[in-house]
Amino acid sequence: MNDMNCTVCHELIHGYLDNELDTAMATQVAEHLAACADCQRLHDEARMLIAGVKAHAPYYPAPDALTQGVMSKTKSRAPSARRFWDLLRDAPQQWLMPAFSAAALAIALALYVATPSSEQPWMDEAVSSHVRSLMADHLNDIASSDRHTVKPWFTGKLDFSPPVFDYSVQGFPLLGGRLDYLQHQNAAALSYGRAKHIINLFILPTSAADKPREHLAIRGYNIVAWQRDHMRFIVVSDLEKSELEAFSQLVEKGPI
Amino acid sequence: MKRFEELFAPHMNAAYNLARWLTGNDSAAHDVVQESAYRALKFIDSFVDGNAKAWFLTIVRNESYNWLKVSAGNRWVAIGDEIPADDLALGHGQTPELHAMHAEDAALVQQALQALAPVFREVIVLKELEGMPYKDIARVVDIPLGTVMSRLARARTMLKLELLKLHSHE
């Protein structure tokens, strides 16, 4: 018998069950449990609860696509050029073969996964970027509703000149712009408001031919994408499809 | 980034599981893990040595709480640990006995755990589902080592009450 009181024991039971107590303390708890029916009951319940949670609580493993996406993206997003060259320098023997098989696998997977639309990665990334812009409080590098402030801001930051217009009159005020990246290319991201909703418009050059507007929904977001005059446009928002279509028509037509 | 992959690829499941439990939905967990990986890569130089899992999960936890704050429009007040002491006393007195079957029902366990405040839910996930030792849990949830046991004690007591409550509603 020892002089441990029950209140203290109630907490120590957990360290005891988790094997986190030192030997002396564990001995004291064991002695108290042997002498105190109440604490022994709580101990048994806690043990049962732990076993139940371990056995029955769902475990959510990362989806394969997420793991592959993260790993391939981080590879191309090496933080500095130096690191990249370091990698290349000590690469050849142990690196190229795995890299080659990884690339082969990636291509096979891409062919398999992306057969319905080769545009999918663009759209996925645009949605992620849209979400990130709202989450990380990083919607705009330049916050202004004046296109004559926003447009010149991109000069020197991009090797193309994105069309920037304000559509306040039509109910889509320009909020600002920021630099973004889609599929490892610089993109202009313009943000527009519509009531409480935010619209991100991504613009970047493409060599592909013109393509009419196309609607998509990914992870609950609506997307409209098209290509025109060697520019790729991707619009992402949680706005309703019809409203997003109206906005996209405005952008594609240009200002009246 | 070979080093990045070596360090963090083994912990993607743990990262997703924690984010999924904290945010309560798949698409948020997806975004949280993506953003966390990006941050981990950005700050990889500040990771010297030691426990990559705890380091990565610390970032995932922070990102999950950021998401919670944004999604709740900053009205999330229950993040802090401010459960009155007598709430806890309830768990010890004359409660009906917890029968094995309460904790055997996966749907009930899931629902009960999801009902706990994030600060209690996360220690259960880290301990029971990830099997992390107290010292790593202390790092991830950013509390002193000495308080991990009491946090877990409260979390488990509340989980038990939640299970009893759900069961009696059936």
Query: What ipTM does the predicted assembly reach?
Result: 0.85
The ranges of chain A with pLDDT < 50 are: 1, 78-92, 114-116
pLDDT of residue A224: 94
Q: Which of A49, A62, A78 sits opposite B13 (nearest CB)?
A: A62
Token readout for A133 is 């812009």
Domains defined for chain B, CATH in brackets: 2-71 (1.10.1740), 85-169 (1.10.10.10)
> Structural domain boundaries of chain A?
6-56, 62-113, 118-253
Helix axes of B52-71 and A120-135: crossing angle, nearest 10 degrees: 80
Residues of A in contact with B26 (CB under 8 A): 60
What CATH number is given for A118-253 in this structure? 3.30.200.100
- Judged against a pLDDT cut of 90, whether residue B99 lies above it is answered with no
Mean pLDDT score of chain B, rounded to an integer? 83
More confident residue, A42 or B6: A42
Q: Are the C-beta atoms of A177 and A154 separated by less than 8 Å?
A: yes
- From the CA of A185, how many Å to the nearest CA of chain B? 17
CB-CB under 8 Å, B124 with A49 = no
pLDDT of residue B61: 96
Residues of A in contact with B66 (CB under 8 A): 135-136
Average pLDDT estimate for B106-120: 92
CB-CB under 8 Å, B1 with A75 = yes
- From the CA of B53, how many Å to the nearest CA of chain A? 15
CB-CB under 8 Å, A12 with B16 = no
Token readout for B116 is 């706990």
pLDDT of residue B72: 73
| Residue in chain B nearest A130 by alpha carbon | B31
Evaluate the CA torsion angle B134, B135, B141, B142 in order and state its sign: positive
Give yes or no for A66 touching B (CB within 8 A). yes
pLDDT of residue B77: 44
CB-CB under 8 Å, B129 with A49 = no
Quickly state the pLDDT bin for B170 (edges 50, 70, 90). low
pLDDT digits (tens, 9 = 90+) for B13-34: 999 999 999 999 999 999 999 9
Quickly state the pLDDT bin for B102 (edges 50, 70, 90). low
- Type of residue numbered A156: G
Least confident of A83-92, A152-161, B63-72, B105-114: A83-92
Report in angstroms the alpha-carbon separations of A109 from A64, A100, B122: 11, 14, 34
